[in-house]
Amino acid sequence: MEKVQAVITGTGRYLPEKILTNHDFEKFLDTSDEWITTRTGIKTRHIADDNQATADLAYYAAENAIKDAGIDKNDIDLIIVSTFTPHMPLPSTACFVQEKLGIAGCGAFDISAACSGFIYGMSIARQFIVGGIYKNILLIGAETMSRFTDYKDRGSCILFGDGAGAIVISAQEQSDKGIIYTKLAADGSGWPLLHIPAGGSHRPASVQTVENREHYIKLKGREIYKFAVQKMQELIEDAMVQNNLSVEDIDMIVPHQVNKRITDSACGHLGFPTEKVFLNISQVGNTSAASIPIALDQAMEEGKVKQGDTILMVAFGAGLTWASAVIKM
């Protein structure tokens, strides 16, 4: 066991008040509540107000996590935000969050690994803690997906929602708690399956890119679906083997909320009963990097994840990227 453990000492989330239902989509798209529910498990998703953007959502979630951890915000040594929908292209969303918290001084940066971003962030944070560099790290997954969603594309727009989730990771000596395992992976050749073509240096914003709707998410859903079922299953099996865990040893899987059919298929195949897989996708949709920390906070609030529990996180998304983590809460 490491001398210093990276322990999750606080969780928080923020979901904007405005709710978009499946019936709302029926008013402007060729779709139905029945199709969306049976194909994805999603019923509603939260949408940011016009005056809110990613740093605002991140800040509210962060405040809740800091309160839950019971630490002074001035004791935060590092802020990491996982997002692909940043507040602005420059500077990082983490710097905006730091300003909102009023704690200038500590390091702050963003990471981009799409839906796997939160687990990537946890892996980075863990290294800083077990290496003895920092004592308290604020890690946030935050997305304003609605600003990059093409509401004329029925194959993708019904999936996404806005929100933020945050955790405080703290150094604890000789603890039996902590982030005990993370695995990160990617296959860059899969980028065409899920990307935003314009707005970066490759294809800067122009009248033409706007007219072509190139600033919105392009998703090849069917291809990702197959990849996701296979990867979710592989990641869970691998994490169980690497950590010598059986289905009985794992109290809860907290997966990226991508599609209820994907999760049901992968977890069911491995013998996990539905009560061991935390899903809130019906209420929040897919919030990318925010998905896992929002789910974790809700699971803790509902008493479905408790202190001492062993949980397994699993995610995959654009890149393509995929990742898993095992945590003793």
Residues marked active site are found at 115, 256, 286
Return the beta strands (E) in the chain as ranges: 4-14, 18-21, 44-47, 78-82, 107-111, 136-143, 163-173, 178-186, 194-195, 218-219, 252-255, 310-317, 321-328
In the bound complex, what is the minimum distance in angstroms from residue 313's beta carbon to ligand UT7? 14
User: How far, in Å, are 121, 183, 294 from residue 325 at the CA level?
Assistant: 11, 6, 16
320 upstream amide cis, omega within 30 of 0: yes
Nearest-10 Cα torsion for 304, 5, 163, 211 = -140
For ligand UT7, the closer CB: 12 or 117: 117
Nearer to ligand UT7, 6 or 294 (CB): 294
How many chain residues bind ligand UT7 (CB under 6 A)?
Answer: 21
Q: What angle do CA 58, 105, 173 make, to 5 degrees?
A: 80
Give, as ranges, the residues between 92 and 131 that touch ligand UT7 (CB under 6 A).
Answer: 115
Q: Any contact of residue 155 with ligand UT7 (CB under 6 A)?
A: yes
Question: Would you give the binding string for ligand UT7 spanning residues 225-254, x where CB under 6 A is met?
Answer: x--x--------------------------
Contacts of 233 (CB under 8 A, 6+ apart): 266, 269, 270
| Binding of residue 145 to ligand UT7 (CB under 6 A) | no
Give the per-residue contact string, 167-206, with ligand UT7 (x = CB under 6 A; - = no): ---------------------------x------------
Binder to ligand UT7 among 22, 286, 298, 321 (CB under 6 A)?
A: 286
Cβ of residue 180: shortest distance to ligand UT7, in angstroms?
25
Selected range binding ligand UT7 among 57-65, 92-100, 223-231, 271-279, rule: CB under 6 A: 223-231
Residue of 9, 22, 40, 93 interacting with ligand UT7 (CB under 6 A): 40
Only segment of 100-108, 163-171, 222-230, 263-271 that touches ligand UT7 (CB under 6 A)? 222-230
The residue from 18, 19, 39, 243 that contacts ligand UT7 (CB under 6 A) is 39
Residues 255/313, Cβ–Cβ less than 8 Å: yes
Give 216: exposed, middle or buried? Use CB within 10 Å, 0-12, 13-18, 19+: buried
Q: Tell me which residue has its CB nearest to ligand UT7.
A: 221
Burial per residue of 286-324, b for 16 or more beta-carbon CB atoms within 10 angstroms, e otherwise: bbbbbbbbbbbbbbbeeebbeeebbbbbbbbbbbbbbbb
Cα–Cα distance between 204 and 200 in angstroms, integer?
A: 5
Of 83 and 170, the one with the shorter C-beta distance to ligand UT7 is 83
Query: How would you classify the pairing of strands 78-82 and 136-143?
Result: parallel
The reply to whether 219 sits near ligand UT7 by the rule CB under 6 A is yes
Q: Applying CB under 6 A, which part among 36-44, 103-111, 181-189, 238-246 lies near ligand UT7?
A: 36-44
326 contacts: CB under 8 Å, gap ≥ 6: 179, 180, 181, 239, 243, 245, 310, 311, 312, 313
Listed in sequence order, the residues at least 6 apart from 301 whose beta carbon sits closer than 8 Å to its beta carbon are none
Least Å from the CB of residue 258 to ligand UT7:
4
Please, which residue, 135 or 261, has the CB nearer to ligand UT7?
A: 261
Quick note: the x/- pattern for ligand UT7 over 14-33, rule CB under 6 A, is -----------------x--
Q: Which of 69, 101, 158, 235 is close enough to bind ligand UT7 by CB under 6 A?
A: 158
Binding site for ligand UT7 (CB under 6 A): 31, 35-36, 39-40, 115, 154-155, 158-159, 194, 219, 221-222, 224-225, 228, 258-259, 286, 317
